[in-house]
Amino acid sequence: MVAAYDDRDGVIWMDGAFVPWRDAKVHVLTHALHYASSVFEGERAYGGVIFKSREHTERLLKSCDYIDIPHPFSVEEIEAAKAAALRESGLSDAYVRPVVWRGSGPDMGVASARNPVHMAIAVWEWGAYYGDAKLKGAKLDISKWKRPSPETIPCFAKAAGLYMICTMSKHVAEAKGCSDAIMMDYRGYVAEATGANVFFVRDGKVHTPKPDCFLNGITRQTVLQMLKERGVEVIERHIEPGEMEGFEQCWLTGTAAEVTPVGSIGEFSFEVGALTRSIAGDYEKLVRGQLAAA
């Protein structure tokens, strides 16, 4: 049985120092708990090296800017802290989770400018996000929830509040025996899964939703560059849901998901084809330093 995340051995980096894992706590009146004033990153280390670490750190601070959280540390300080946290974990292949939040202080309403900003970095072992889906293809539901308009929320931040509808969507999907769910955007176009971007293949060309109202993932950008270097034509555009019937292959990309084939989305089925397997294999080589960086 997997241990609860608050009951593990080891240490967590918090505000510049390491604390025992079980003592890494916040007060119940922490502003982030009540008003979602929190941003985070998901990163993976392979062979003791965090893949595209600096890009993740820069995005973390950009997310802070999007939701008006002051930077608690510089890029260089965060990079050093992540490296130290990875070393302290004793792990070579690991998941790295930096998180920044507004804590408890004199403000306990919507406004929180006077409350201190905190940061923590936790590292743990985490295998394949979708289990054996890398072999047979993930089964996805179609969520009733839509990614919001950029006019309603800072949708390009990796912010905690943006994941509420993702959690709800994934719970429904899992209850149906699916691994995840695909979400449409506010206009009804195909957007992304709850924590991963999506790619489709038809007639040798790759189609992927235009990230104009959701996160343009670092893994997504990496795979786009890999496809470009292969000479594969990639079309970034708005994709109607009905178009999924005509696609032959599909895969998801994300730090946790890496490159995961998709076998079905709702009533639509896909083969785990040659291009999907090849990109997944090359991505694995790339993150482990066995392929030239994209």
Q: Does the annotation count 158 as an active-site position?
A: yes
- Per the CB < 8 A criterion, the answer to whether 103 and 28 are in contact is no
For tokens 């590292």, the residue is 123
- Active-site entry in 158, 170, 205, 228: 158
- Per the CB < 8 A criterion, the answer to whether 198 and 207 are in contact is no
Coarse DSSP helix, strand, coil percentages of the chain, rounded to the nearest 5 percent: 30, 30, 40
The number of angstroms, rounded, from the C-alpha of 108 to the middle of its chain's C-alpha atoms is 29
| Cα-Cα-Cα-Cα dihedral sign, residues 273, 279, 284, 285 | positive
DSSP, residue by residue, 118-179: EEEEEEE----TTTTHHHH-EEEEEEEEEEPPTTTS-TTS-BGGGGHHHHHHHHHHHHTT-S
What are the catalytic residues?
158
